[in-house]
Amino acid sequence: MRLDNMLLAEGVAGPEKGGGAAVATAAAAAAAGGVTDNTIEHSDYRAKLTQIRQIYHTELEKYEQACNEFTTHVMNLLREQSRTRPISPKEIEHMVNIIHQKFSSIQMQLKQSTCEAVMILRSRFLDARRKRRNFSKQATEILNEYFYSHLSNPYPSEEAKEELAKKCSITVSQEGIGNMGKGLGQVKGKGLML
C-alpha cells in the first residue's frame, strides 16, 4: 500500500491510464516561467520521470497480459485433465488464486524497483539543490585569518560578525560567521582541520 501511495504521489501511477500525466503536465506548466538552470534541471527531472512512468506502465501491462494468458492456459489444461480424472471447480479456483498471488508478488517487485528508481532520480536532481555552497576563496581566507588569530576566543561579537560579513561580501546569517567557534577543530568554509 505504501508503494502505491508513493507511486501516486510521484505521478507514476494514477487513476487514469497515463499514470500521473496530469500531475506532470501541471508541474511543467507551473515551472514554465523563465528559463533558468533550475527550470532546465526540472525539465530533465520530468523527462526522466516520464521515462520511468512509461517503463512502469509497459511492464505492468506485460505482467497483466502474461498473468491472463497463463491463467487461461492453466484453466484449459485443468479442464482437459478433468476428462481423465476428477477435478473440482474449487481446485481450479485454488490454482487460479495461486497464479494471481505469484503475479502479485512480481508486480510488487516492479513497484519496489520503480520506487527505488524514483528515489534515486529525486536524490540526483531535486536534492542536489540543497548542496552546501562554499564561500569564495577570498572570503574563506578572511574567515580563516580571523579564526586563527582568535583561537583563544573564536566566537566573534555581533560587531565583529558584521565587519567580517562586509569584508567577505556575505550575510551575517550565512554559516561560517555565526558558527565560527563551534566544534573548535573545523573551520567552516573549507572544512580545514586544526
**183 falls in which pLDDT band (50, 70, 90)?**
very low
DSSP string, 126-160: TGGGG---PPPHHHHHHHHHHHHHTTTS----HHH
The answer to whether residue 74 sits within a structural domain is yes
3-state helix, strand, coil in the chain (%, to 5): 65, 0, 30
Range of the domain at 156: 133-184
Can you give the pLDDT at residue 73? 93
Residue 162 has pLDDT above 80, yes or no: yes
Q: Which residue has the higher pLDDT, 150 or 90?
A: 90
Residue with cell 586544526: 194
Q: CB of 180 within 8 A of CB of 143?
A: yes
Q: CB of 170 within 8 A of CB of 135?
A: yes
Please tell me whether residues 65 and 126 are part of one structural domain. Answer: yes
Reported as a single tens digit per residue, the pLDDT across 133-144 is 677 888 888 888
What total of structural domains would you count in the chain?
A: 2
Please tell me whether residues 90 and 145 are part of one structural domain. Answer: no
Reported as a single tens digit per residue, the pLDDT across 16-50 is 544 444 444 444 444 444 444 555 567 788 888 88
Please tell me whether residues 102 and 171 are part of one structural domain. Answer: no
**What is the CATH number for 168?**
1.10.10.60
Q: Which residue has the higher pLDDT, 90 or 181?
A: 90
**Could you tell me the pTM of the whole model?**
0.51
